[in-house]
Amino acid sequence: MAFRDVVIVGSGFGGAVMAARLGEAAKLTGGAAKILVLEKGEDHTGAFDPASTGGALNAQGNRFRHSLSPESSGKVAQLFTDTAGAFKSGTPSMNVIAGLGVGGGSNAYDGVSLRAPTEAFEQVRDGRRLWPSVYSRASLSPYYTKVEAMLHVHRLAWTDAKVPHWQLATKRDFVFADGCRKIGATAVPLKLADEDDANEGWWNQGQRFSGRQNLTKNYLADAKGAGVELWSGCDVDQILPTKDGYVVSGTDRRVTPSVRFEIECKMLVIAAGAVGSSGLLLRTKPAFAQRRAIDPTNMVGKQVSGNGDYGVTGVVGKDYEFAVEGHKGKPMSSFCPSYWTQHQFILIPFYAAPLYLSLGQPSTLLRAKDPRAVGRASTTLEDGARDWGGAYKQTLKSFGSRILTMGCLALDGCEGEVRLGRGGNGVEVAWQSTAASTERRWSAAIDAMRRIYESLGGEMFLDGYRKDGTVNTAHPLGGCRMAEASDAGLGVVDPNGEVFGNPNLFVVDAAIVPSALGANPSLTIAAVAESIADRLVRGAGTRSFADRLV
Amino acid sequence: MGLGLFAAGCRPTFASDSTAPSPTLPGETGSGHAAGAGYSDNLDALADVLLPAERDASGKVTSVGAREAGVDHVMRVASFVPLAQAQGLLPSFSDAVMTRLEDLDGVFRAQLNAALDVAALVQKPLTAFRDLPRALQEAAVDQAFADPAQKPALLVVRAACLTAYLGAVQSDAGLRDVGFPAFENFADGLAVSGYPRTKKGRLVDAKTESLEQLDANGDLDDYTYNREPEPTPGDDLSLVLDANGDLL
């Protein structure tokens, strides 16, 4: 059986940071420790795994194409859904979009890099702080700074008086700002992780140019430099404890036909994302539990946040026609923080390719019967409206120049769940019911967004939550939540990401984040991983990395 | 620097200098079918009902639909159904339904063609679906969508229509139809390589060229207005944001 000292499952904002930092530590101590990253998707760069499948490299030296076709976008993002319809039969109660391929979530993110607000870390439920005491906005500050340097994070601007032209917010952000002002709110430029961006448009998933800070350009490049191996196309489906460590097994799809692999390791870091990591533990739990107890209080897959994501689509009025131009520039470059203090949500205008606005529900691109309705499954299509045919096509044609998409990110109540699908194989997500506090925030956000559209002379269309009760999120958090070491029953991992009762088994990614953040989470996930790696390498409050490999 | 583009309201008018333009499809050349004529089968007609082309009096296509945008090609994409499901374009189906959807270009097509003829009988006896007047075709489709047994098949064809029209799988004809510029190099999957550009599509180097001058000449296609929005009276963000632009 193959052996590596450390195996890391996943190469996103958790796995890439751990690979870089543990790789550096191993290199400093002579490089004897062997570290391997296993990634389910392809190596879009061709630089990390020569055996990776995928087409020829393009002129920019990667395999990214435009993000519109399912054939292309299916290589950089994956959808987890609720096949049973937990809220309404036949309709998903939740859809989660997650990154795929070497670089994980950075293949599908929009580069937004906001620090989570203080209030996110101080949330309390049942009299207990959701986050372990070691975490606060202040304690994470040095790690945020570290990640921001690695990802070249900078704040955009409205004018190029002080910044290069490529660092400007887009026209549609100016339109959004105008709408915000008309309802008494304010839009400001976002912080983004990009560099000398070509603003080529159709930026949403993957990016063939060098602008966006994909993790392959920073953390994973450092990991490679430190001698860390990376295998793409390797889908881990089981982990088992041994006397001295763990055995990881799965399917290697780089060869045809695919083959099974098994690797033994001393230390195992699961970093496959909120849904992926939770799903892996759920799938492996029955066999694992025959050898050693894991998750005795059944917390895996529970208390999953969608980070309060709620997206809507609409059109602006004639005065703003030709001004929103979705195909140009960065997909997100401003946000409205005006409602944070009162309602704990922010608003972000963004561009998504027209095909994906439908998300299988083309009717959500049409008018609601009651435009002012708020709440789950609160309204339907206008009477007689069809989501196909000539009139529908005319609606689509009107989008090209007038479409403006917006979303809110809020503090939700972690009402989601990751669970096993039919037959115990596939991983699914579900959102059974919405907490009253979440409903209040979303209702206030929807009302604000509707008023922005109307102030711009346009209108907001029907969305999936109001029509069918479907929660769509690109920011899943939790499922293997952290808890204080003294509160093992309330979580899956301790504040260092180590699974309770299972030494040297870690989860370090979005899955351990114990609450919604209210801001785009990639920066916080990476900062939490930096803090864990720092404590491990220094042996601060836990056994040191070096000790663990002896 | 302030460009004043807001007042200009410029619409992109790319005279693309593409190296490999998107393929021109039959329906775009003016040889398109008149409504109700020339369909190869019922499914071909169904695609034109779900996402129709628009034609002038002579039958020339003035606005492409799903057929002209390559829905036939999309229906032949290997594993289209699971691919579309993985992207959220189709819901989950039962195993029994998935079995019916395995061979989209063969058994599925034949079964749907037959089912559409049955649906057409209700509208007008002894008339194939593809030969029905458009209003009756739409009525038949309405009925089929309302039938749980038929609905999955229609959802698949609708997803294929939307994918062909907006997904730029075989061509960018649909995207151009809704107002987006042509791909710079469709064969290479390259939509656009950057902004700002001139109206004729040349990429401008903002470091060395005067965007103000280009704008003054009416020759700038930018992604930004490059000016400060007006402040919002009474909305003090100092209690919400820090100096770096993060929420406090």
pLDDT per residue over A408-452, tens digit each?
Answer: 999 999 999 999 987 666 899 999 999 999 999 999 999 999 999
The predicted structure's pLDDT at residue B27: 42
Mean pLDDT of B88-97: 85
> Where is average pLDDT lowest: A158-172, A371-385, B75-89, B170-184?
B75-89
Confidence of residue B36 (pLDDT cuts 50, 70, 90): very low
The predicted structure's pLDDT at residue A478: 98
Interface mutation vs chain B, best among A57, A62, A64, A66, most B CBs within 10 Å: A66
> Where is average pLDDT lowest: A182-186, A195-199, A396-400?
A396-400
Which residues of chain A have a CB within 8 Å of the CB of B224? 165, 168-171, 174, 329
Mean pLDDT of B10-27: 39
The predicted structure's pLDDT at residue A402: 86
Kindly state whether B241 is in contact with chain A, defined as any CB-CB distance less than 8 angstroms: yes
Chain B, residues 79-138, CB within 8 A of chain A, namely 80, 83-92, 138
Kindly state whether B187 is in contact with chain A, defined as any CB-CB distance less than 8 angstroms: no
Q: d(Cα A39, Cα A184) in Å, to the nearest integer?
A: 46
The predicted structure's pLDDT at residue A54: 82
Rounded to two decimals, the pTM is 0.93
A and B: number of Cβ contacts within 8 A: 243
The predicted structure's pLDDT at residue A424: 67
Which residues of chain A have a CB within 8 Å of the CB of B178? 354, 396-397, 399-400
pLDDT of B14 above 70 = no
Q: Is the dihedral of CA A147, A148, A152, A158 positive or negative?
A: positive
Chain A, residues 192-221, CB within 8 A of chain B, namely 198-202, 208-209
Query: Over the range B102-131, which residues count as b (16 or more CB within 10 Å of their CB) and which as e?
Result: eebeeebbeebbebbbebbeebeeeebbbb
Which residues of chain B have a CB within 8 Å of the CB of A178? 229-230
Kindly state whether A251 is in contact with chain B, defined as any CB-CB distance less than 8 angstroms: no
Q: d(Cα A505, Cα A222) in Å, to the nearest integer?
A: 23
The predicted structure's pLDDT at residue A324: 85
> Where is average pLDDT lowest: A351-355, A370-374, B54-58, B98-102?
A351-355
> Quick one: closest CA in B to A80, which residue?
B86
Asked if A185's CB is within 8 angstroms of B235's CB, the reply is: yes
Alpha helices by DSSP H, A245-272: none
Say which of B169, B231, B246 has its CB closest to residue A114. Answer: B246
Confidence of residue B5 (pLDDT cuts 50, 70, 90): very low
The predicted structure's pLDDT at residue A545: 97
Average pLDDT value for chain A:
93
Confidence of residue A58 (pLDDT cuts 50, 70, 90): confident
